[in-house]
Amino acid sequence: MIKATLATNLRTVDQQLVEPMPWGRLEWSVSAKLGNSETMTIGTCFLNPGAQNGRHFHPNCDEVLRVLKGRIIQTWDGVEHEMNVGDVVSIPAGVVHNARNIGDGPAELAISFSSAYRETVDADGTH
């Protein structure tokens, strides 16, 4: 049995992993890479106004996305769905999807994955 301690699992804001992207940024707070989980990945996606992330899928995990701020169009399986603050979608592994910010300000999305070793593959098949 693995014993977790607050000292090893706590991540303060300044300890999160920030990945700048052309469309905004990803901020990771829980993952195997961060050393604070062996079962899940949790982060926040920030989409600039009018921007969208690329079409992609996760071959090894499901994703749950919740809109915290703003309005987006979430596309999966080729169908567009408008999402507003509080809306949640569960995206199964292997489903091609992406988000587009349709609001006037930045969009903020809580994202969670069912693996601490989240993999992402672009819709064209590249990692």
HEC letters along 23-71 = CEEEEEEECCCCCCCCCCEEEEEEECCCCECCCEECCCCCEEEEEEECC
Residue 12 lies in a domain: no
Query: Between these two residues, 63 and 6, which has the higher pLDDT value?
Result: 63
What is the number of structural domains in the chain? 1
pTM over 0.85: yes
Instruction: Give 37-56 pLDDT, tens digit per residue.
Output: 999 999 999 999 999 999 99
Residue 86 lies in a domain: yes
Give the CATH number, domain containing residue 27: 2.60.120.10
Residue 22 lies in a domain: yes
Domain encompassing residue 35: 17-121
Straight-line distance from the first to the last Cα atom of the chain, in angstroms, rounded to the nearest whole number: 34
